[in-house]
Amino acid sequence: MKNCIGCNKSLTSDQFSKRSASKDGLQDKCKVCNKADNAKFRKEKPEYINEWRVGKTDVLIAINRKYQSKWGSGVYKITNLLTNQIYIGSSKALLRRRNEHMEQFSSKNNTNKLLLQDILIYGRDNFIFEIIKQCPVKEARELEAKLIKKLQPHYNIKWK
């Protein structure tokens, strides 16, 4: 039995989620309390939901696997329709990357703060995501570098 620090109930260990960093390998709050905490957090801080989701890697990996094959790898362009400024990128999973930029407003590996900032300022509807070419990752990286050099895209250059 273990005492939950949230509800103070004495509960069996299966009522607690695992946490390898703890001495007993369990979280300090029971599953019910954790669930309530998460719901409260989502309600109070909707802007942090995406960051919160990033921590749920098992969920994200499942989502990524589902989408990875959908559009495959390649080079893409994001355009700010109000300023015509662009961003060029490549990804091994185009649909996932599109969602990271345009829906979740986050990209763990490739956070372009300037682009993100403008999406939040100008609004997501004023940006379009276009696929330039669907091709293997290596080819995509090369084409991405070539296009950045040639076009000097605002969001790539100013970001560095």
Quick one: 113 exposed, middle or buried, by C-beta within 10 A (0-12, 13-18, 19+)? exposed
Q: Which residues of 135-153 are buried (b: 16+ CB within 10 A; e: fewer)?
A: beeeebbebbeebbeeeeb
In angstroms, give the least distance from the CB of 32 to Zn ion.
Answer: 5
In angstroms, give the least distance from the CB of 34 to Zn ion.
Answer: 8
Region binding Zn ion by CB under 5 A among candidate stretches 28-36, 63-71, 105-113, 116-124: 28-36
Tell me if 75 contacts Zn ion by CB under 5 A. no
Considering only 26, 27, 33, 75, the residue that binds Zn ion (CB under 5 A) is: 33
Region binding Zn ion by CB under 5 A among candidate stretches 32-40, 43-51, 68-76, 150-158: 32-40
Show the binding pattern over residues 7-26: x = contacts Zn ion (CB under 5 A), - = does not: x-------------------
Quick one: 20 exposed, middle or buried, by C-beta within 10 A (0-12, 13-18, 19+)? exposed
Tell me if 30 contacts Zn ion by CB under 5 A. yes
Per the CB < 8 A criterion, the answer to whether 129 and 118 are in contact is no
Residues near Zn ion, by CB under 5 A = 4, 6-7, 30, 33
